[in-house]
Each structure stands twice: as C-alpha cells, then as structure tokens.
Chains A and B, each alone.
Chain A
C-alpha cells in the first residue's frame, strides 16, 4: 500500500485565494483526520470523518475552512478565502477501527499564504 497520499506537497498562494488540499487515505481505513501543524500550536485536529461522515469539526477554526469526504478514498480541505495566518503544514491521517488506534499520516501539505 502506498500509504496516505496528500497533494500538493507545497502550495504558495496569495491572500484571498481559494486553496484546496487533497487526501487519499489507506484503502480499508474508516477514519480520516485532518490536522494542522504550527510551531505555536503543535498538532491541531481540525476535523475527522468516520465512514465518510464528519464526526467532529469543532477544530475547524472558522467558516473559511470546509472539508468533505465524498467517498471512502478521497477527502478535501478547502480554505476560502485564505489568509497569511493559515500558513502551516496540513496533515491528513487515516486509521482503521480495528487497528488499535494507530493512525497513519501523509507527508503533509506545506501551505504558505502571502
């Protein structure tokens, strides 16, 4: 298995633009998580899905952030409009209910908003 695949790896955009981050979880995993990592705040959980249904989006910072999981093999995190303070590394992770809690992370998307 190729693991969790995220795209793009790097994204530089101007303030006010829409940004879409993509994630393909490991096949068979029924949980998908979106995290944001910054030096100041560490790893923050933004939202997670179980069987494609959003379970907890309390970590989504503002209405500018939205996430979807239209099927078991694809998820997106969208920021519209983007702001410089959104600059961070965004990770997608997936796990299987039966995996004992172990989550597998993607390589991350480094987002820079200028």
Chain B
C-alpha cells in the first residue's frame, strides 16, 4: 500500500515557468514532509521540508504548500531552470519516533526546456 501518492509521473516545463508536483498521504500521524531532489547518477538529497504546523515554506525559488485537512502537500518551483531538471520525491515520516522510516512517493521526472 502506497502511503504517499505522488503526481504527475513526469513533467515538462519551459524555462521560466512554474513546476508543480503534488503529493497526498493517508496517515495522520505523519509530522514531517520533505522533498528530495535526485540528479542522474546521484543519491536523493533533501531539498526542502515542512512540518504540519505551517501551511507554506519557501526557500528561494522552491515552495512547499501544505493542506493538513486535505492531507496534501505540493512543491512549487518558480522560474524553473534547466538545472532544475531532476527527479523529485515527496516523502513523509514521524519525527522522533522509533518507527523512523521515510515513506516516499514514486517520483516525478522534471524536464525544464531552455
């Protein structure tokens, strides 16, 4: 059973456009929602993360929007650049829990055309 569902599977955006990736989760015990970015040949690396006590977090061109009631969160990449072309994974976990695993979405392959 997929604990975190991610869409779309792939996304093509023009340079300067906005990239939006969506995720939904089921377990209301989750309290940490990170996004990971993966370039070819590399391991995933943390991009940005949010906790459910806020509805939005922004770091540079990257913003997470969080809707606790809908159990959904999304990543927005403003002014998308070719260097943003990568695979993006959303995830969820429970902080400070003995059940310390991250539940990942299936990933979104983003291509930004110059």
Contacts and interface: CB of A to CB of B under 8 A. Distances in A.
A6 to B, nearest CB: 8
Given A31-B100, A107-B42, A42 B32 contact: no
Interface string B71-113: 0000000000000000001000111101111101111000000
Given A43-B44, A93-B43, A108-B43, A103 B96 contact: no
Interface string B51-85: 00000000000000000000000000000000000
A100 B44 contact: no
B45 interface: yes
A93 B41 CA distance: 15
Interface in B1-55: 32, 34, 36, 41-46, 49
Interface in A2-27: 4
Interface in A36-95: 42-43, 45, 48, 50, 55-56, 91, 93, 95
Contact of B98 (A43, A50, A98): A50
Given A43-B89, A98-B96, A100-B95, A105 B45 contact: yes
B46 A102 contact: yes
The 5 closest A-B pairs by CB, nearest first: A105-B43, A101-B32, A42-B106, A101-B93, A43-B104
Interface of A: 4, 31, 33, 42-43, 45, 48, 50, 55-56, 91, 93, 95, 97-98, 100-108
25 contacts: A33-B101, A42-B106, A43-B104, A43-B107, A48-B100, A48-B101, A50-B98, A55-B98, A55-B99, A55-B101, A56-B101, A95-B100, A100-B49, A101-B34, A101-B49, A101-B93, A101-B100, A102-B34, A102-B46, A105-B36, A105-B43, A105-B44, A106-B43, A107-B42, A107-B43
